[in-house]
Amino acid sequence: MIRLKNGYGIVSDGKSYTLIQYAIQTSKNGEVKEIQKSISFHSTLEGALQGYSNCRMADLVSDYDMDLKFVKEAIDDLKREIKAYE
């Protein structure tokens, strides 16, 4: 498993890759546990990392009002982060 930033990760079954997001789930009896939600399935690690990049950009766009300069900086930051995993 590869733990990524911002609550994401990548798991593999040996044949493909799944982009996951960690979440906290509370049961009816009050038990709290961390779960993994499947986000997308990929045949390559590069595809899973691109999926992560797309999700992070969608998260940023939904959370903030941004101008194009900020978007460019966010994309550059994501590229540097992903390059560290290669």
Amino acid identity of residue 62, one-letter, is S
Q: Are 58 and 50 in contact (CB under 8 A)?
A: no
Count the residues in the chain: 86
pLDDT, one tens digit per residue, over 31-85 is 899 899 999 999 998 899 989 988 988 888 777 777 778 878 888 888 888 777 6
Q: Which H helix or E strand runs over 55?
A: helix 45-63
pLDDT, one tens digit per residue, over 9-42 is 999 999 999 999 999 988 888 889 989 999 999 9
